[in-house]
Chains A and B, each alone.
Chain A
Amino acid sequence: MVNEKPTIVVVGNGMVGYKFCEKLVSKTDAYQVIVFGDEPRPAYDRVHLSEYFSGKTADDLLMNTLDWYSENNISLHLNDPVQEINPEAKTVHSLKGEVIKYDYLVLATGSSAFVPDIPGVEKEGVFVYRTIEDLELISAYAKNAKNGAVMGGGLLGLEAAKALIDLGLNETHVIEFAPRLMPRQIDQPGSTMLQMKLKELGLQIHLNKSTSEIAGEGKITALNFADDSSLPVDMLVISAGIRPRDELAKLAGLHVGNRGGIVVNEMMQTSDPSIFAIGECALHEGMIYGLVAPGYEMAEVVVSKITGGEREFHGFDMSTKLKLIGVDVASFGDPFINEPDCRTIALEDTSKGIYKRINITKDGKSLLGGVLIGDAEDYNMLLQTVKNNIALPPNPEDLILGTRGGESTEGGAGVMNLPEEALICSCESITKGAICCKVRDEGITTVDGIKKATKAGTGCGGCIPMVKDLVIGTMKEQGMYVKNVLCEHFDYSRQELMDLIKMNNVRSYDEALDHYGRGDGCEVCKPAVAAILSSLWNDLIVKQQPIQDSNDRYLANIQKGGTYSVVPRIPGGEITPEKLIVIGQVAQKYNLYTKITGGQRIDLFGAHVNDLPAIWEELIDAGFESGHAYGKSLRTVKSCVGSTWCRFGLQDSVSFAIEVEERYKGIRSPHKLKGGVSGCIRECAEAQAKDFGIIATEKGWNLYVCGNGGSKPQHAQLIAADVDKETCIKYLDRFLMFYIKTADPLARTATWLNKMEGGLSYLKNVVVNDSLGIGEQLEEEIQHLINSYHCEWTEVVRNPELRKQFSHFVNAPEEKDPTIEFDSMREQIKAKEW
Chain B
Amino acid sequence: MEAETTTDIKWVLACYASDVPENGGACVKYEEEQIAVFNFTRRGEWFATQNLCPHKQQMVLSRGMIGSTGEECEPKVACPFHKKTFSLISGECLSGDEYQIKTYPVKLEGDKVYIGIRSTT
| A interface with B by C-beta (< 8 Å) | 55, 64-65, 448, 451-452, 458, 488-489, 510, 513, 519-523, 525-527, 545-547, 549-551, 553-554, 558, 560-562, 805, 808-812, 815, 817, 819-820, 834
Task: Let me know if B59 and A819 touch, CB within 8 A.
Answer: yes
Q: Which residues of B sit under 8 angstroms from A817, Cβ to Cβ?
A: 27, 34, 59
Roughly how many angstroms separate A632 CA and B57 CA in the complex, as a whole number? 27
27 A-B residue pairs with CB within 8 Å:
A55-B56, A448-B94, A448-B95, A451-B96, A452-B96, A488-B69, A510-B23, A521-B67, A522-B65, A522-B69, A523-B78, A525-B67, A526-B65, A545-B24, A546-B24, A546-B25, A549-B65, A553-B24, A554-B63, A558-B63, A809-B28, A810-B26, A810-B28, A810-B37, A811-B19, A811-B29, A834-B58
Task: Let me know if A805 and B80 touch, CB within 8 A.
Answer: no
Q: Which residues of B sit under 8 angstroms from A510, Cβ to Cβ?
A: 23, 42
Given that A520-B67, A810-B15, A810-B27 are known contacts, is A546 also in contact with B58, CB under 8 Å in the complex?
Answer: no
Minimum C-beta distance from A39 to chain B (A): 19
| B interface with A by C-beta (< 8 Å) | 14-15, 19-29, 34, 37, 40, 42-43, 56-60, 63-70, 73, 75-76, 78, 80-81, 83, 85, 94-96, 98
Task: Let me know if A547 and B83 touch, CB within 8 A.
Answer: no
Task: Let me know if B68 and A520 touch, CB within 8 A.
Answer: yes
Given that A519-B73, A819-B34 are known contacts, is A547 also in contact with B65, CB under 8 Å in the complex?
Answer: yes
Closest chain B residue, CB of each to CB of A55: B56
Task: Let me know if A558 and B80 touch, CB within 8 A.
Answer: yes
Roughly how many angstroms separate A527 CA and B65 CA in the complex, as a whole number? 9
Minimum C-beta distance from B105 to chain A (A): 18
Task: Let me know if B67 and A522 touch, CB within 8 A.
Answer: yes
Closest chain A residue, CB of each to CB of B78: A523
Closest chain B residue, CB of each to CB of A513: B42
Minimum C-beta distance from B104 to chain A (A): 15
Roughly how many angstroms separate A83 CA and B85 CA in the complex, as a whole number? 45
Roughly how many angstroms separate A809 CA and B67 CA in the complex, as a whole number? 22
Q: Which residues of A sit under 8 angstroms from B40, Cβ to Cβ?
A: 520
Roughly how many angstroms separate A549 CA and B22 CA in the complex, as a whole number? 15
Minimum C-beta distance from B64 to chain A (A): 7
Q: Which residues of B sit under 8 angstroms from A834, Cβ to Cβ?
A: 56-58
Partner of A520, one of B14, B29, B73, B94: B73
Task: Let me know if B95 and A561 touch, CB within 8 A.
Answer: no
Roughly how many angstroms separate A665 CA and B46 CA in the complex, as a whole number? 38
Q: In this complex, which of A55, A520, A805 has the most chain B Cβ atoms within 10 angstroms of its Cβ?
A: A520
Given that A448-B96, A520-B75, A522-B78 are known contacts, is A546 also in contact with B60, CB under 8 Å in the complex?
Answer: no
Q: Which residues of A sit under 8 angstroms from B34, Cβ to Cβ?
A: 809, 817, 819
Closest chain B residue, CB of each to CB of A518: B73
Roughly how many angstroms separate A458 CA and B56 CA in the complex, as a whole number? 19
Roughly how many angstroms separate A819 CA and B33 CA in the complex, as a whole number? 10
Task: Let me know if A553 and B63 touch, CB within 8 A.
Answer: yes
Closest chain A residue, CB of each to CB of B39: A546
Q: Which residues of A sit under 8 angstroms from B80, Cβ to Cβ?
A: 549-551, 558
Q: Which residues of B sit under 8 angstroms from A458, Cβ to Cβ?
A: 96
Roughly how many angstroms separate A527 CA and B80 CA in the complex, as a whole number? 12
Partner of A523, one of B22, B28, B70, B83: B83
Minimum C-beta distance from A591 to chain B (A): 19
Task: Let me know if A562 and B60 touch, CB within 8 A.
Answer: yes
Q: Which residues of A sit under 8 angstroms from B24, Cβ to Cβ?
A: 545-546, 553
Q: Which residues of A sit under 8 angstroms from B15, Cβ to Cβ?
A: 810-811
Q: Which residues of A sit under 8 angstroms from B85, Cβ to Cβ?
A: 522-523
Q: Which residues of B sit under 8 angstroms from A562, Cβ to Cβ?
A: 58-60
Closest chain B residue, CB of each to CB of A832: B57
Roughly how many angstroms separate A551 CA and B65 CA in the complex, as a whole number? 11
Minimum C-beta distance from A50 to chain B (A): 17
Roughly how many angstroms separate A549 CA and B42 CA in the complex, as a whole number? 18
Closest chain B residue, CB of each to CB of A813: B19
Roughly how many angstroms separate A576 CA and B94 CA in the complex, as a whole number? 50
Task: Let me know if A522 and B29 touch, CB within 8 A.
Answer: no
Roughly how many angstroms separate A551 CA and B81 CA in the complex, as a whole number? 10
Given that A522-B76, A810-B27 are known contacts, is A558 also in contact with B81, CB under 8 Å in the complex?
Answer: yes
Roughly how many angstroms separate A510 CA and B43 CA in the complex, as a whole number? 12
Minimum C-beta distance from A123 to chain B (A): 37
Partner of B14, one of A489, A547, A811, A815: A811
Roughly how many angstroms separate A34 CA and B36 CA in the complex, as a whole number? 41
Roughly how many angstroms separate A815 CA and B30 CA in the complex, as a whole number? 13
Roughly how many angstroms separate A459 CA and B109 CA in the complex, as a whole number? 49
**Knowing that A488-B70, A519-B67 are A-B contacts, what are 13 other residue pairs whose CB atoms are under 8 Å apart, sorted by A's residue number?**
A55-B56, A520-B40, A521-B68, A522-B85, A523-B64, A523-B65, A546-B24, A547-B65, A553-B63, A558-B60, A562-B60, A805-B21, A819-B34
Closest chain A residue, CB of each to CB of B60: A562
Task: Let me know if A546 and B28 touch, CB within 8 A.
Answer: no
Q: Which residues of B sit under 8 angstroms from A489, Cβ to Cβ?
A: 67
Minimum C-beta distance from A250 to chain B (A): 37
Task: Let me know if B23 and A546 touch, CB within 8 A.
Answer: yes
Q: Which residues of A sit under 8 angstroms from B21, Cβ to Cβ?
A: 545-546, 805
Minimum C-beta distance from B89 to chain A (A): 13
Task: Let me know if A809 and B27 touch, CB within 8 A.
Answer: yes
Task: Let me know if A526 and B67 touch, CB within 8 A.
Answer: yes
Roughly how many angstroms separate A625 CA and B43 CA in the complex, as a whole number? 38
Q: Which residues of A sit under 8 angstroms from B68, Cβ to Cβ?
A: 519-522
Roughly how many angstroms separate A488 CA and B20 CA in the complex, as a whole number? 27
Q: Which residues of A sit under 8 angstroms from B57, Cβ to Cβ?
A: 834
Q: Which residues of A sit under 8 angstroms from B14, Cβ to Cβ?
A: 810-811
